[in-house]
Chains A and B, each alone.
Chain A
C-alpha cells in the first residue's frame, strides 16, 4: 500500500458546486497533512495544512482530518474554472519530510 493515496480523477464539477478531494494515508504516526495545488506545467503551491482532527477553514477551502480513519479531505466551495488543477496531498512519513500522493485532477466546468 502506498503511503499517501489519492484518486487520480479526473473529477469534474460544475462552476459554483462543491469539489471534494480525498486522501488516505497508511502511517498512523503521521501528524501533519498538507494540500498543494499544481497547475499544468507549474510547480506545486501550498493551499492548506492541518494537524488536528476536525475541520479547518480558509476562505473557500476546508480541510478535514480524521486520524482514526486515516483520512484527510479538501473541500472547495463555490468552485471556479480557475480552480481547475491537480491537487496533491502530502504528509511526513518516517524520516521523509513530505511524501506526496499522485494527485487528483480537478476540472471545473463553466
Chain B
C-alpha cells in the first residue's frame, strides 16, 4: 500500500492554458474524490467516483472542469482555460465504499498557481 499519489506536486501555468492532474488511489479503494483547498479554508468538494462512474459533481464545478476515471483505477482532473481564481491546492482522496471507519486517505495534493 503506497498511499494515494498525485502528480504533479506543483504546477505553474499561464492564465488561459489547460492543465491536467493525475491521481492514483490506494489499489483496493473503489471510491475516489477530488477536493480543492485555498488558504484558510477547508477542502471544498468537487466530484467523486465509485469505480468508473462519476456519482456527484459540485454545483461549484464549472464547465471548465472535467474529471475522468476511465478504468476505475487512476483519475484525471482537467481544468480548461485556467483563471487566477483556480489557484489552489487540488486534493485527491480515496476510500473503500463509504467513509466507514477508515474515512478518506488523502494524497499530498497538487498545488496550482495561475499567473
Interface residues of A, Cβ cutoff 8 Å to B: 4, 6, 8, 32, 34, 36, 42-46, 49, 88, 90, 92, 95-103
Residue pair B98, A97 in contact (C-beta under 8 Å): yes
B1 interface residue per 8 A CB criterion: no
Q: How far is the CA of A101 from the CA of B45 in the complex (A)?
A: 11
17 contacts between A and B (CB under 8 A): A4-B42, A32-B99, A43-B106, A43-B107, A44-B91, A44-B106, A46-B102, A46-B104, A46-B105, A88-B43, A92-B99, A100-B35, A100-B42, A100-B43, A100-B44, A102-B41, A103-B41
Residue of A with least CB distance to B50? A97
Chain B, range 7-40, C-beta contacts under 8 Å to A: 31, 33, 35, 40
Q: Is B103 an interface residue (CB 8 A)?
A: yes
Are the CB atoms of B103 and A34 closer together than 8 Å? yes
Contact B108 A98 (CB under 8 A): no
Contact B56 A95 (CB under 8 A): yes
Query: How many interface residues does B have (CB within 8 Å)?
Result: 25
- Decide: A101 and B42 in contact? CB cutoff 8 A: yes
- Judging by beta carbons under 8 Å apart, are A96 and B103 in contact? no
Give Cα A46–Cα B99 distance, bound, in whole angstroms: 11
Q: Knowing A34-B99, A43-B107, A46-B103, say if A97 contacts B33 (CB, 8 Å).
A: yes
B residues lining the A interface (CB < 8 Å): 31, 33, 35, 40-45, 48, 55-56, 58, 91, 98-99, 101-109
CB distance from A58 to the nearest CB of B (A): 11
Cβ-neighbour of B101 out of A45, A49, A99, A100 (below 8 A): A49
Rounded to whole angstroms, the CA-CA distance of A61 and B99 in the bound complex is 20
Among the listed A36, A49, A96, which residue makes an inter-chain contact with B45, where contact means beta carbons less than 8 Å apart? A96
Question: B40 touching A102 by the CB < 8 A rule?
Answer: yes
